[in-house]
Amino acid sequence: MFRLAEFRRDKKLTQKDVAEIFKCKQNNISIIENQKKDLTDAQLEALIVLYGDSVKSYIDDIDSVSIEKGRKHVVGDYLLPYYDVDITLGFDNIMNDQTTIPSYYLNIPAFKNCDCAVPVYGRSMTPDINDGSIVAIKEVSLDSVLPGEAYLIVTDEYRTVKYIRTCKGDPAKLRLVPKNLEEFDEMILDKSKIRKVFMVKGVITNKIL
């Protein structure tokens, strides 16, 4: 197993610090460090990010939990990380505390060019994107945004999925347009307020046929 406690102390972190990063109880960190609980691939990847290559060098010695070795048996040799973050299809204000630890991975070779997958909630993009669907996204620069395509827009106030269109007469602003215009209005957003933008490359719907 790993010398997790040693790696943690090298980073001058307490078990409480790591528990807050992992969003779990401190007792869980103690259990993991005492080798009483197997680590998931998501936890291993998070530890590599947190502790550095010193952890990664030990992973290859454990075939049953190695991320890299596990990926060799996946169709298309790719796993899409799924982050269980709050994404709204409306304009509700939410906390923008992006998680850094994937909840799990999706084996979808068609989305191999995407960065990750996230859930979306709300009715403003129905029927194109239903409430509770999962979207596969890829981060792009604001300058490369294609008018008419669906994007996840992240600001300091909210995250939302909308169609982006240009704002005539004002190149410093964008129109965020919902699909369900019967129930929802479009919004004008200043480009300077956008922290990140992700193109929606695919949708995994929960619609029952």
pLDDT digits (tens, 9 = 90+) for 164-191: 999 988 999 999 999 999 999 999 999 9
How far is 191 from 60, CA to CA, in rounded Å?
44
181 contact partners, CB below 8 Å, separation of at least 6: none
- Other Cβ atoms less than 10 A from the Cβ of 152: the count is 20
Q: Is the pTM of this model over 0.95?
A: no
* Least confident segment among 48-57, 88-97, 116-125, 128-137: 88-97
DSSP of 65-92, one letter per residue?
T-HHHHHTTSGGG--EEE-----BSS--
Taking residues 142-165, report their average pLDDT.
92
Residue whose structure tokens are 């990063």: 21
Taking residues 99-104, report their average pLDDT.
65
79 contact partners, CB below 8 Å, separation of at least 6: 41, 71, 105, 106, 107
* Residue 121, beta-bridge partner list: 88
CA angle at 151 for the pair 149 and 172, rounded to the nearest 5°: 85
Residue 42 is predicted with a pLDDT of 64
Q: How many CA atoms lie within 13 A of 172 on its CB side?
A: 3
- Is the confidence at residue 101, as pLDDT, over 90? no
| pLDDT band at residue 26 under the 50/70/90 scheme | confident
36 neighbors 45 (Cβ within 8 angstroms) = no
